[in-house]
Structure 1
Amino acid sequence: MKKFSIVWAVIILLAGCSPKTVRTAYRVPKNGLSQFFRYEPGKTPMISAHRGGGDIKGYPENCIESFQYLADRMPTIIECDISLTKDSVLMMMHDNSLERTTTGKGKLNEVRWEYCKTLNLEDNQGNLTKFKIPTLEEVLRWGKGKVVFTLDVKRTVPFEKVVDMIHKTGATDYAAVITYNATDAAKLHRLDPALMLSVGIMKQADYERLRELGIPDNRMIAFVGTKEANPDLYRFLHEKGISCILGTLGNLDKQAAAKGDQLYRQYAKNGADIMSTDRPLELWEAVKETK
């Protein structure tokens, strides 16, 4: 028994993880995210962790340690939020102020990065952690080979700064950018035509507007909303090779928690290729065998 324990301990040490940890990641093809996100029938649904987690006790949102916690257990897309300090440092934060998720106080556009570095993060239940606010650069450098990102750029943040950081860190092949209107999508496409863009498409006219502005199908990931899309919209987009993100965060997650996680399999069957969720671990357990 002692010999077995020693051997097992060596295996764990070499693997760099516990016996319960599963190290896995989505594999991005050599031709990048355009192929990774291309719709193909029969693919296992993908999971996007809203704000990179946060509802798991001890693991705050927009935090590298939380991203790692999920990446150790499942292949995941990390949706996370980029904000800007007074001295123009790109940092990860959803809110415009520090109070809800950190030990600090103040609006982000009124505080400097030197102050933010002294703070600790709190989880969504208000539990204090030892974790720190990461910068966008730290997040992108950490994520290579581990996760795929969808980057939510807050209104005060210039797209140019985000694109420059994507280029600086070589993250084009594993970081897409979220947009909320066709004009912003077109601007980002002009800044870098190789970028993958999450674009809002709730009806066919939304797609037509994006195409008029010059965004090709192979650079679009369609966010279809936080309620199930019309089957005709799913079919229309799939025929063009465009994958669809359904935001289960909010009501659809609550329905699954109340009625059973098998609902996630139904959302996938109805046409959702990616689900953006506050319940990533539960969703993964529900759909990981789905083909």
Structure 2
Amino acid sequence: MKRLSPLFVVFLSVILLSSCFRNTPSETKQKHDSSNSIETSDFSSDNFNINSLEDLYQFLTFNDDRYPLISAHRGGDTDGYPENAIESFQYWAKQFPLIIECDVRLSKDSALVLMHDETLDRTSNGTGRIGKYTLAELKELRLKDSNGELTNFQIPTLEEALTWGKGNVLFTLDVKQDVPYGLLSQIIQQTNAQASVIVITYNANQARAIYRINPDLMISASVKSEKDLVKLAEAGIPDNRLVAFVGTSQPKKPLVELLHSHGIKTILGTIGNLDKQAKSRGYQVYAEYVEKGADILSTDNPGEAQKALDFYINKRNIKSPFINR
């Protein structure tokens, strides 16, 4: 692990109290015939050997031999496979271990469902706001793929996704504003999915709120500067409950080194310009992002990004007791 410069360490010692960060005791593409829905109930990829919260904390703690992962943005939609659909999650989980980033919204009758937009129009054959429909009504709709083609796939509930996902994938849950954290925590606990879940937050106040409701959950927090890390420490979030989303452009080296020195892994959002850069320069660019300190790549191109990670992992003979590969 690289050491911070002496000047930088002195600066940090002034603004940070080491006790604030002390850990608490732990606890490609393929066309799909949308006339036939994938049978997901018996599918098991067993990509992950994570059986407890302790396993999850260890796996998501940075070390020099960390196993880099892809996070499929909105579940990795591709031809014939819609975003935020369990069938799309399964399509990728058959190919390699990954994190599924998906979006959680609230129905009229307080069911938690997976959908990015506030309205149904873009990604389904429904219209209007999701919050005006009951779960039963939402289940009558069908999802569209990235080309706008209608599939036979339904809008999944969070409960269905988490039940399917254990052992197959990890999840980062982008929880929309109308979703109560208490209800979210209840569904995660009911499905016994705490060791499969990371909850996305966008500021220290949100991180504090979810931590107070369920202090065992892993949290993805936005960290764009040292000040953001200080705020999370002041909110009482332990290092071993955090992964840091560092933005959609390459972060400065001192920030990456600071996070890694606290054992905090980084998520780099390649969605947008960095994915475009990889498309123009070649998929090996994704490995360069990892070389520069990204531990998880949140991407719209999971297949291409994984090619680079496979090369990176094989070249360095990286293995993890938590990955069955």
* TM-score of the pair, normalised by structure 1: 0.90
Cα distance in 1, alignment partners of residues 210 and 66 from structure 2: 28
Amino acid in structure 2 at the alignment position of 1:275: L
User: Within 5 Å, which residues of 2 pair with 1:107-118?
Assistant: 107-118=129-140
**Alignment match of 2:74 (pick from 13, 30, 51):** 51
Cα distance in 2, alignment partners of residues 44 and 246 from structure 1: 15
Cα distance in 2, alignment partners of residues 44 and 221 from structure 1: 14
Contact persistence 1:32–1:174 (CA under 8 A):
no
Cα distance in 1, alignment partners of residues 80 and 118 from structure 2: 22
Query: What is the DSSP-based 3-state SS (H/G/I as helix, E as strand, rest coil) of the residue aligned with 1:221?
Result: strand
Cα distance in 2, alignment partners of residues 275 and 26 from structure 1: 18
Query: What is the DSSP-based 3-state SS (H/G/I as helix, E as strand, rest coil) of the residue aligned with 1:215?
Result: coil
Q: Deviation of residue 24 (structure 1)?
A: 5.4
Amino acid in structure 1 at the alignment position of 2:279: A
Please list every run of 5 or more consecutive structure 1 residues that lacks an aligned counterpart in the other structure. 1-15
- 1:249 corresponds to 2:300: no
Query: What is the DSSP-based 3-state SS (H/G/I as helix, E as strand, rest coil) of the residue aligned with 1:190?
Result: helix
Query: What is the DSSP-based 3-state SS (H/G/I as helix, E as strand, rest coil) of the residue aligned with 2:194?
Result: coil
**Alignment match of 1:193 (pick from 203, 209, 215):** 215
- 1:215 corresponds to 2:237: yes
- 1:175 corresponds to 2:193: no
Q: Deviation of residue 44 (structure 1)?
A: 3.3
Cα distance in 2, alignment partners of residues 194 and 288 from structure 1: 31
User: Where does residue 36 of structure 1 map in the other structure?
Assistant: 59
**Alignment match of 2:49 (pick from 27, 30, 36):** 27
Report how many residues are paired: 271
Q: Deviation of residue 176 (structure 1)?
A: 1.0
Query: What is the DSSP-based 3-state SS (H/G/I as helix, E as strand, rest coil) of the residue aligned with 1:232?
Result: helix
Q: Give the superposed CA RMSD.
A: 1.4
User: Where does residue 188 of structure 2 map in the other structure?
Assistant: 166
User: Where does residue 228 of structure 1 map in the other structure?
Assistant: 250
Cα distance in 2, alignment partners of residues 255 and 267 from structure 1: 11
Contact persistence 1:44–1:287 (CA under 8 A):
no
User: Where does residue 297 of structure 2 map in the other structure?
Assistant: 275
Cα distance in 2, alignment partners of residues 82 and 33 from structure 1: 22
Cα distance in 1, alignment partners of residues 222 and 187 from structure 2: 24
Please list every run of 5 or more consecutive structure 2 residues that lacks an aligned counterpart in the other structure. 1-41, 317-325
Per-residue CA deviation, residues 237-266 of structure 1 (Å, 9 max, x unaligned), is 101100000000111011101111111011
Cα distance in 2, alignment partners of residues 44 and 249 from structure 1: 21
* TM-score of the pair, normalised by structure 2: 0.81
Contact persistence 2:46–2:167 (CA under 8 A):
no
**Alignment match of 1:148 (pick from 147, 170, 185):** 170
User: Within 5 Å, which residues of 2 pair with 1:65-84?
Assistant: 65-84=87-106
Cα distance in 1, alignment partners of residues 129 and 288 from structure 2: 41
**Alignment match of 1:63 (pick from 56, 68, 85):** 85
Amino acid in structure 1 at the alignment position of 2:221: V
Query: What is the DSSP-based 3-state SS (H/G/I as helix, E as strand, rest coil) of the residue aligned with 2:67?
Result: coil
Which deviates more, 280-289 or 167-176? 280-289
Per-residue CA deviation, residues 1-27 of structure 1 (Å, 9 max, x unaligned), is xxxxxxxxxxxxxxx99xxxx945133
Per-residue CA deviation, residues 72-108 of structure 1 (Å, 9 max, x unaligned), is 0010100100001111110000000000000111101
Q: Deviation of residue 45 (structure 1)?
A: 1.5
Which deviates more, 24-33 or 244-253? 24-33
Cα distance in 1, alignment partners of residues 86 and 132 from structure 2: 24
Percent sequence identity over aligned pairs:
48
Amino acid in structure 2 at the alignment position of 1:123: D
**Alignment match of 2:141 (pick from 97, 100, 119):** 119
Cα distance in 2, alignment partners of residues 204 and 58 from structure 1: 42
Q: Deviation of residue 215 (structure 1)?
A: 0.3
